[in-house]
């Protein structure tokens, strides 16, 4: 027979677990349209009067969707022109929504923002896919109009420490790199495409 204290702890744990599952289910049930509305409202609140060439919209890219199965991203994009953009408050960014519907921008200096939902690497093909997806998100352009990241052009080196995926944009000076640890988890990345002509 369990003591009242034990029953209380078990009931508390059960309640906490059901609340967590409820949050997960609520996130799973949220539609892309609902998420886009949340993103638009967040943009208007945080960046009132912003301008962009594309978006707000869902970030649709086959490579990203294959590497981040089940995770949805949203974006706004201002084209790189080499001249001043036509918007006073030009904006480019990529976000995802967490389980509570909070908008989480992807920060280029924070690789951990790109880890959640990313396929773990266990071989060269997965490394190429995951590396390409990370760099596509980092560039913020689902159509890859300016710079493409073809999986077959990645050089993958494996060591005891993990995988290093290198992508050369035509010459050695313009090389992007994505690193995964020995458990196949994203460790770091750097994006270094050529400048806009």
Instruction: Band the pLDDT of 25: cuts 50, 70, 90.
Output: very low
Q: What is the pLDDT of residues 169-196, one digit of tens each?
A: 877 788 999 999 999 999 999 988 877 6
pTM of the predicted protein model: 0.81
Gap between the Cα atoms of 115 and 110, Å rounded: 10
Q: What is the pLDDT of residues 122-152, one digit of tens each?
A: 999 999 999 999 999 999 999 998 888 999 9
Q: Is the pLDDT of residue 12 over 50?
A: no
Burial label for 66, CB within 10 Å (0-12, 13-18, 19+), is: middle
Q: What is the pLDDT of residues 45-58, one digit of tens each?
A: 999 999 999 999 99
For residues 143 and 109, the model is more confident at 143
Specify whether the CB–CB gap between 178 and 187 falls below 8 A. no
Q: For the range 83-88, what are the long-range contacts, defined as Cβ-Cβ under 8 Å and sequence gap of 24 or more? A: 85/51, 86/51, 87/50, 87/51, 87/52, 88/49, 88/51
């Amino acid at each position: 027979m369990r003591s009242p204290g034990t029953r209380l702890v078990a009931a508390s744990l059960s309640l906490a677990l059901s609340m967590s599952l409820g949050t997960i289910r609520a996130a799973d049930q949220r539609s892309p349209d609902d998420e886009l509305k949340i993103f638009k409202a967040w943009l208007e609140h945080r960046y009132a009067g912003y301008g962009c060439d594309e978006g707000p919209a869902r970030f649709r890219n086959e490579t990203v969707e294959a590497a981040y199965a089940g995770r949805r991203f949203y974006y706004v994009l201002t084209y790189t022109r080499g001249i001043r953009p036509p918007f006073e408050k030009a904006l480019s960014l990529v976000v995802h929504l967490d389980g509570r519907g909070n908008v989480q921008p992807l920060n280029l200096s924070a690789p951990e923002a790109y880890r959640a939902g990313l396929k773990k690497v266990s071989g060269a093909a997965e490394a190429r896919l995951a590396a390409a997806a990370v760099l596509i998100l980092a560039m913020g352009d689902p159509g890859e109009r300016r710079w493409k990241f073809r999986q077959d052009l990645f050089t993958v080196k494996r060591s005891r420490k993990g995988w290093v995926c290198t992508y050369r944009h035509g010459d050695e000076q313009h090389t992007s790199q994505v690193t995964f640890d020995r458990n196949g988890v994203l460790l770091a990345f750097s994006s270094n495409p050529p400048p806009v002509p």
